[in-house]
Amino acid sequence: MSLLNSTPDNSDRSWLKIIGNYNRPAISRSTWQLINTFVPYVILWFLMYFSYSVSYWLVLLLTIPAAGFLIRLFIIFHDCGHGSFFPSKKTNDTIGILIGVLTFTPYYRWHHAHQIHHKTAGNLDKRGAGDVWTLTVAEYKQASKSRRRFYRIYRHPLVMFGLGAGLMFILGNRFTRKHFEPKEKMSVYITNIGLLVFGSGMSLLIGVKAFLLIQLPVMYIAATAGVYLFYIQHQFPDVRWAHEEDWDYKRMALEGSSFLKLPRILQFFSGNIGFHHIHHLSSKIPNYKLEKCHKENSLFSDIKPLTFWKSFSCLKLRLWNEEKQQLISFRQYRLSVIGKG
């Protein structure tokens, strides 16, 4: 649903006043969220260890809530990078780096790409950093057969979520690239050292096999769910994208980011990130204030929610159709080619 007629444009700065009411973190709430996320995760981890000698099926059952708390830890990591979890930058960075080890994610490297994502989300001329690779219909038509084939494989759910998500967090985040800035490279090294210390220590305590059979499934489930959430945030039927000359920060925050209405338990584990339109409007709002901001302001009343079950239909969306201004499936693309032929 377009908000152009229902909300003021960027010349009306009232939205800045609105988000200003929610931009400040509450130390007590942040501390409590850190405790009620980290402590249950540790408890579940050791329950999985004690269950290991009883039944591995019981271990796998416990990996589901453990993965949920690991996702919630990642949301705290995410807020720390935006400077929205604690008032102190030093505290945010310290907590973020430590959680980065638990989530297998280099703090400064990930947030460098994520900040670019916030500045360019929905911009067709600035794709490629911190986003999901998406081609326009015209680009797909002009691509070579091998590039088309690779793109189809990349966009397949079994590859993107079943294989790619886990590999990205477990292996991909372990390496630096030539274009990384020194601080980004250092964060990769620090995270790898932290993982080496953590993995070695746990392996000495419980054994290498037990450690891997517990940690890897938790990480895999959390990574898959996390990448799915990120995908849905900007790949949904009503999403709006634009070229640089038409790109507008507020409009893209509200129309280029989804409002994913999750069941309460999933909203808890995902740290309210379903209110992604609010997050993109202001990344300084801590996750525990996103829902409150959405509910208390009429600015967001006309935003169409995407439900959990309906979100799975978004997996078929593959290409941006500039003529129709919408994401389409490969099937829709083939039908349009046949129709024009």
Please report, in angstroms and rounded to a whole number, the separation of the first and last CA atoms in the chain: 32
Residue 340: band (very low, low, confident or very high) from pLDDT cuts 50, 70, 90: low
Q: How many domains does the chain have?
A: 1
What tokens were used for 211? 């450690």
Sign of CA dihedral 88, 94, 97, 100: negative
Residue 5 scores a pLDDT above 80: no
Q: Does residue 213 lie within any of the structural domains?
A: yes
Q: Does residue 55 lie within any of the structural domains?
A: yes
Residue 3: band (very low, low, confident or very high) from pLDDT cuts 50, 70, 90: very low
Residue 8 scores a pLDDT above 90: no
Q: Does residue 91 lie within any of the structural domains?
A: yes
Q: pLDDT tens-digit profile of 303-318?
A: 999 999 999 999 999 9
Higher-confidence position of 17 and 282 = 282
Average pLDDT on 257-276 reads 96
Q: Does residue 292 lie within any of the structural domains?
A: yes
Q: Does residue 89 lie within any of the structural domains?
A: yes
Maximum distance among all Cα pairs of the chain, rounded to whole angstroms: 66
Most trustworthy range by pLDDT among 32-36, 118-122, 240-244 = 32-36
Taking each helix axis from N to C end, the angle separating 56-82 and 208-234, rounded to the nearest 10 degrees, works out to 50
Q: pLDDT tens-digit profile of 87-132?
A: 999 999 999 999 999 999 999 999 999 999 999 999 999 998 888 9
Per-residue model confidence (pLDDT) at position 10: 46
Q: How far apart are CA 333 and CA 331, in angstroms?
A: 5
Per-residue model confidence (pLDDT) at position 338: 74
Residue 4 scores a pLDDT above 70: no
Per-residue model confidence (pLDDT) at position 192: 98
Please spell the DSSP secondary structure of 233-302, one letter per residue.
Answer: HH-STT---B-GGG--HHHHHHHSS-BEE--HHHHHHTTTTTBHHHHHH-TTS-GGGHHHHHHH-GGGTT
Residue 319 scores a pLDDT above 90: yes
Per-residue model confidence (pLDDT) at position 9: 46
Per-residue model confidence (pLDDT) at position 291: 97
Average pLDDT on 33-52 reads 97
Paired residues of 319 in beta bridges: 135, 328
Q: Are strands 306-307 and 260-261 parallel, antiparallel or unpaired?
A: parallel
Q: Does residue 193 lie within any of the structural domains?
A: yes
Count Cβ atoms below 10 Å from residue 63 Cβ, excluding itself.
24
Per-residue model confidence (pLDDT) at position 301: 87
Q: How far apart are CA 99 and CA 179, in angstroms?
A: 25
Average pLDDT on 162-191 reads 94
Q: Does residue 199 lie within any of the structural domains?
A: yes
Q: Does residue 138 lie within any of the structural domains?
A: no
Per-residue model confidence (pLDDT) at position 12: 57
Q: What percent of the chain has pLDDT over 90?
A: 87
Phi then psi for residue 328, to 5 deg, are -130, 165
Residue 195 scores a pLDDT above 60: yes
Q: What percent of the chain has pLDDT over 70?
A: 95
285 φ/ψ sector (left φ>0, alpha ψ -120 to 50, else beta): beta
List the domain range (segments joined by +) for residue 94: 14-122+155-236+246-309
Per-residue model confidence (pLDDT) at position 17: 86
Q: How far apart are CA 331 and CA 238, in angstroms?
A: 18
Average pLDDT on 175-195 reads 96
